[in-house]
Amino acid sequence: MNASAWAVLLTVLVTGWVVLDGAVQGAGATLLQEHGQDGKERRREPAERRLVLGAVGPLLLPGEVWLIAALGVLIGVFPHAEADLLRAGYPVAITLVGSWALRDAGIWLRSRRPGNVWRDVWDVVLVVASITLAGSWGALLGVAWGSGLAALALGIAAVVVTRLHGDAVVAWRLRRSGPLPVVVTSVMVAAPVVGTALAAWPRLVHGTVSEPTMAALGVVALVVLPVVLALQVAAWWIVSRPLDSRDTLFF
Amino acid sequence: MEATELARLQFALLAAVHFLFVLLTLGLGPVVAIFNTRWARATGPRAVVLGNATRFWGQIYLVNYALGIAAGIVLELQFGLHFPGLLDVAGEVFGAPLAVETLVAFFLESTLLGLWVFGWHLFPRGLHAAIFWAVVLTGYASAFAVMVANGFLRNPVGYVLEGPPDAQVASITDFGALVANPAALVSGLHVVGACLMAGGFVLVGVSAWHLRRVGGGERLPVSPDEDLWRRSMRAGIWTGLVGVLFVQAFGYAQFGYIEGGFGENAAVGVLLEVMMRSADLVFLGALVLPLLLIGGALFRMRGRRTLYAVLTALLPLPFLVGIAGWLVRELGRQPWVIQGVLRVDQVTSDQSARAVLASLVLLAGLMVTLAVLDWWVLTRLARAGTDRLVLGAAPADVLRDDGADDAVLLRFGPPQETR
């Protein structure tokens, strides 16, 4: 695999992350409030929150690894790009990983103890961390554009579109709407990533590791990625079914 | 403190937290896989006990794994955030195994684990067990890839430095040497031993806590729960024995490649001594405990309740020793980041000491807090035993506990037998 192929793979990995994990971020951000059919905001009861997280839950583990894999590609193939991006976006990157850790802790721990106080506190953490995670991700994309204004605009855009995306996936799994809104919101969350990749393309493909190392890593990637994709399809199959009595409501 | 010192402290704290989760993930994984496989093939009352064992230990595994990932993500970014020079100089050599780790092993591991948890009632039980075996294998592969990267720092092989003196870049010349590096292979097996030892201590400690309450001292277990804890105790003893044998054998074997000694830090010698003497003690204990399984003596003998209390109290030991071992490894390399090639202060980012301090307080503070909360939750889950296990529960049961109304419950049907 050459530099362009690796840059394509990097873009695919990050796109996979925003589509899969974006649904979890959106569901987390809207966990406590629901936009009712009468147009009013309504607080979600504990059992409803459980259904919302049950709807997107199967996406958490298979989803967040896409960005970790993308980070691996950055370190292994584009080490200079990673070093440059993190130099420029230092506080944004710190916020991103911090909110990511908090979001995960919120999802995994909220249902591990009995009692409402424990859960309510974690749910507030989950909402705040999900919004921060989406926003700091958008801002980091803006840093790659090299502009503070772009960081602000993309940060706000990411918060808005992940909410829509999370809502669409949850509504689809509970069969309150069809799959079409999910396709639309998926494109919406993916667009900034693809746009940024195209803008940063020349700088990205310029700073790779040597050809033999790229080729060797490419062999490994080409062997394993089909297996990963098959397993990802299985995970997506779980999510494509309506939520029913064979699902696991772990979160 | 200088920015370099603060960056090192931040890395050390985050890596230590991450490593504590890894110890249990790798140590408990094979045992959960074995329980799961035996459950898949069991029928009748045995199936109930083995099913509960899989769900109980699986839940402990998951809650530990969850924060392990989070800690790993925070850690992975540390190289780029604070030691960009390491990526600039050795990104190709050091980054390649990390890329393999994330792109291959961890990608597979996490996807498979998601399938295991959320496909609980969807896949045939044999396939479900096979999925968890794949989780364990990819987990070990992941750990080995990290050891290849870390082994290169301790014992750099299979590379060449090229370019002008002030801008040298390392590239790989020999993949085989990089992977077969004794600092990766031998030390990797030593770490595997440490993980199995930690898993063994947790299995034994938790089982002993429960047996102290439900252990009837009869020849056969009097309840399904006592059966579960006796099985877990036995599994823990064998896991711990295998672990300590690996720890000892490959621990001493490491001295073969450590020619440069352990650096200038005086603490290293003390830590090394503490670690080696503790491992010797564990080794003795691990030889005695299997003998007590003969005729079920451990579950029937007089004074067993005192022994159980001791075994529970010893639970943190392998984690403390594990941290000591990791400190010996990392401190023993200082002031080098790549032994004899590159010093830490040559690769640190030009962030101000104040910025690094702020991120240290934020990230290390956050991760230590979350880790402590997680361990507290794990303790409560361990004490609750098989009561209200959520992993593998029917959704209607879970929703009823959350006060779901009838309309919701109807949709999820009555609590069903999971095949």
Local mean pLDDT, 10-residue blocks, chain B (419 residues) = 88 93 96 98 94 97 94 87 86 86 88 96 96 96 93 90 84 89 91 96 97 88 94 96 92 75 76 87 89 91 93 95 89 86 87 90 93 96 93 90 80 58
pLDDT per residue as tens digits for the range A182-219: 999 999 999 999 999 998 888 888 878 888 888 888 88
pLDDT per residue as tens digits for the range A86-103: 888 889 999 999 999 999
- The alpha carbon of A151 is separated from its chain's Cα centroid by a whole number of angstroms, namely 17
Looking at beta carbons, which residues of chain B come within 8 Å of A220?
A: 100, 103-104
Looking at the fold, whether B298 and B398 belong to one and the same domain comes out as no
Looking at beta carbons, which residues of chain B come within 8 Å of A216?
A: 96, 172, 175
- Would you say residue A251 lies in a domain? no
Task: Output the pLDDT for position B414.
Answer: 60
Strands A41-43 and B342-343: unpaired
Collect all residues with Cβ–Cβ distance below 8 Å to A96 and sequence separation of at least 6.
A133, A136, A137, A140
Continuous segment of H or E residues that includes residue B362? none
Strands (E), A40-152: 41-43
With CA atoms as reference, the chain B residue closest to A111 would be B390
Tokens of A69: 């894999």
Looking at the fold, whether B392 and B381 belong to one and the same domain comes out as no
Looking at the fold, whether B393 and B365 belong to one and the same domain comes out as no
Looking at the fold, whether B319 and B211 belong to one and the same domain comes out as yes
**Interior/surface letters B156-176, b for 16+ CB within 10 angstroms, e for the rest:** bbbbeeeeeeeeebbbbeeee
Taking the C-alpha atoms of residue A117 and residue B372, their distance in angstroms, rounded to an integer, is 19
Strands B336-338 and B342-343: antiparallel
Q: CB neighbours (10 Å) of residue A30?
A: 21
Specify the number of domains making up chain B.
2
Looking at the fold, whether B416 and B318 belong to one and the same domain comes out as no
Taking the C-alpha atoms of residue A54 and residue A56, their distance in angstroms, rounded to an integer, is 6
Looking at the fold, whether B9 and B87 belong to one and the same domain comes out as yes
Looking at the fold, whether B354 and B392 belong to one and the same domain comes out as no
Looking at the fold, whether B267 and B135 belong to one and the same domain comes out as yes
Looking at the fold, whether B243 and B206 belong to one and the same domain comes out as yes
Q: CB B67 to CB A79 under 8 A?
A: no
One-letter amino acid at B364 equals A
Looking at beta carbons, which residues of chain A come within 8 Å of B79?
A: 75
Asked if ipTM goes beyond 0.90, one says yes
Q: CB B171 to CB A213 under 8 A?
A: yes
- Are B78 and B17 in contact by the 8 Å Cβ rule? The answer is no
Taking the C-alpha atoms of residue A209 and residue B87, their distance in angstroms, rounded to an integer, is 10
Task: Output the pLDDT for position B104.
Answer: 80
SS3 A37: coil
Task: Output the pLDDT for position B259.
Answer: 62
Domain carrying residue A84: 3-240
Looking at beta carbons, which residues of chain A come within 8 Å of B370?
A: 101-102, 105
Q: Is B351 on the interface with A (CB under 8 A)?
A: yes
Residue A36 — pLDDT band, cuts 50, 70, 90?
confident
> Per DSSP, what are the bridge partners of residue B160?
B171
Long-range pairs for A217-224: beta carbons < 8 A, 24 or more residues apart: A217/A1, A217/A76, A217/A77, A217/B96, A217/B99, A217/B100, A217/B103, A218/A1, A218/A5, A218/A6, A220/B100, A220/B103, A220/B104, A221/A1, A221/A9, A221/B103, A221/B104, A222/A1, A224/B103, A224/B104, A224/B107, A224/B108
Collect all residues with Cβ–Cβ distance below 8 Å to B192 and sequence separation of at least 6.
B26, B140, B143, B243, B246
Long-range pairs for A170-179: beta carbons < 8 A, 24 or more residues apart: A170/A27, A170/A52, A170/A55, A170/A56, A173/A55, A173/A56, A173/A239, A173/A242, A173/A243, A174/A51, A174/A55, A174/A242, A174/A243, A175/A242
**Interior/surface letters B119-131, b for 16+ CB within 10 angstroms, e for the rest:** bbbbbebeebbbb
> Per DSSP, what are the bridge partners of residue A43?
A33
Q: Which of B92, B121, B366 sits opposite A246 (nearest CB)?
A: B121
Mutate to test the interface with A, among B65, B110, B174 (most CBs of A within 10 A): B110
Domain carrying residue B352: 3-386
- Are A117 and A172 in contact by the 8 Å Cβ rule? The answer is no
Instruction: Name the nearest CA neighbour of B308 among B197, B222, B226, B245.
Output: B226
Specify the number of domains making up chain A.
1
Q: Is A116 on the interface with B (CB under 8 A)?
A: no
Question: What is the arithmetic mean of pLDDT over A209-230?
Answer: 87
The DSSP secondary structure of A8-25, one letter per residue, reads HHHHHHHHHHHHHHHHHH
- Would you say residue A248 lies in a domain? no
Task: Output the pLDDT for position B261.
Answer: 66
Taking the C-alpha atoms of residue A191 and residue A165, their distance in angstroms, rounded to an integer, is 13
Looking at the fold, whether B144 and B49 belong to one and the same domain comes out as yes
With CA atoms as reference, the chain B residue closest to A100 would be B70
Q: CB B70 to CB A47 under 8 A?
A: no
- Are B54 and B76 in contact by the 8 Å Cβ rule? The answer is no
Looking at the fold, whether B335 and B396 belong to one and the same domain comes out as no
- Would you say residue A245 lies in a domain? no
Instruction: Name the nearest CA neighbour of B98 among B113, B83, B116.
Output: B83
Question: What is the arithmetic mean of pLDDT over A72-81?
Answer: 85
Looking at beta carbons, which residues of chain B come within 8 Å of A79?
A: 87-88, 91-92, 95
Looking at the fold, whether B183 and B283 belong to one and the same domain comes out as yes
Mutate to test the interface with B, among A75, A213, A240, A243 (most CBs of B within 10 A): A75
Report the alpha-carbon angle B366-A107-B385, nearest 5: 100
- Would you say residue A99 lies in a domain? yes
